[in-house]
Structure 1
Amino acid sequence: MRDLNTLQRKASAHGDHVGAYAAAVLEHPLPWTKMRQVYRLLGLVRRHGAGAADDACRRALDAEVIDVGLIERMLSRGAGEQLPLMAKPPATASRFVRSATDFTVRRPS
């Protein structure tokens, strides 16, 4: 049966952001055409866990991207485990650095 409210409640049970993402998917003039995407989202929650899916939905909602395929790619590639930014190493002198006097122009006086 096509019951959007039950589907919305199932998604909300897995986290606030998953529920908000499901609501955003179902905001369509013909919402029953998007029910399969919400079922796919619920499958991703079962496969990858509610915490990881909730985090992925939060990041997608922050970027205002409503695409369940994106959530799947984020979860399968492990986009939640981003490495911390490394500090740039200090600049070292190049091997072929020449002194500034090598470039002075000698003019006859």
Structure 2
Amino acid sequence: MKIYARGVLVKTHARVPAGHRSTDVEDLPAERTAYALRDIDRLVADASAHGAAVGEFAKVVLDHPLPWTKMRQVYKLLGLCRRYGDDRTDAACRRALDAETDSVTVVGRMLERALEAETTEDDPVPDNVIRGRFARGDDHFAVTPSGVTR
């Protein structure tokens, strides 16, 4: 295939079978190459520039059999960095990693509600628990190797 501009040959592409395409990376704008080529490593590097936890969270999101289907989620994560700042987003991603979630929507809600820095304290176990006389002991519910309870 030959491409002309005002009668001047500009570009040639080799013939490809029907249903296929020929894309020359040199024809793409430099700032759009990562989008067009589905460059996962570039996305992780961009996310890591906003914070270590953001980069690690991006890796978790992209850890998928078809990672290019999750690229928009990482773009959303980068948008959260621009909107709420790197420090807050990094803290929210760290908290999301601790909770073992890979949902960018959850990170966004944490940032909207300003929950990224909130910590949860464990409720102390009361030491005055009274066992009722009707309560059975643990050995009553034990299962034998044959599967029958005692």
Q: How does the TM-score come out when normalised to structure 2?
A: 0.54
Residue type matched to 2:103 in 1? D
Report Cα offsets for 1:55-75 as digits up to 9, x if no partner. 000000001011000000000
CA positional deviation for 1:83 = 8.3
Residue type matched to 2:89 in 1? A
Alignment of 1:1-109 (within 5 A): 1=36, 2-82=38-118
Residue type matched to 1:33 in 2? T
> Greater share of helix residues, 1 or 2?
1
Q: How does the TM-score come out when normalised to structure 1?
A: 0.74
Report Cα offsets for 1:9-45 as digits up to 9, x if no partner. 0000000000000000000000000000000000000
Q: 1:79/1:12 Cα in 2 relative to 1: closer, same or farther (>3 Å)? A: same
Residue type matched to 1:42 in 2? L
Highest RCO, 1 vs 2 (Cα 8 Å, sep ≥ 6): 1
Query: Over aligned residue pairs, what C-alpha RMSD do you find?
Result: 1.7
Distance 1:84 1:74 in 2: 14
Verify the 8 A CA contact 2:48 2:54 in the aligned structure 1. yes
Structure 1: tracts of 5 or more residues without a match? 86-109
Distance 1:23 1:83 in 2: 24
Paired-residue identity, %: 55
How many aligned positions are there?
85
> Greater share of strand residues, 1 or 2?
2
Verify the 8 A CA contact 2:61 2:102 in the aligned structure 1. yes
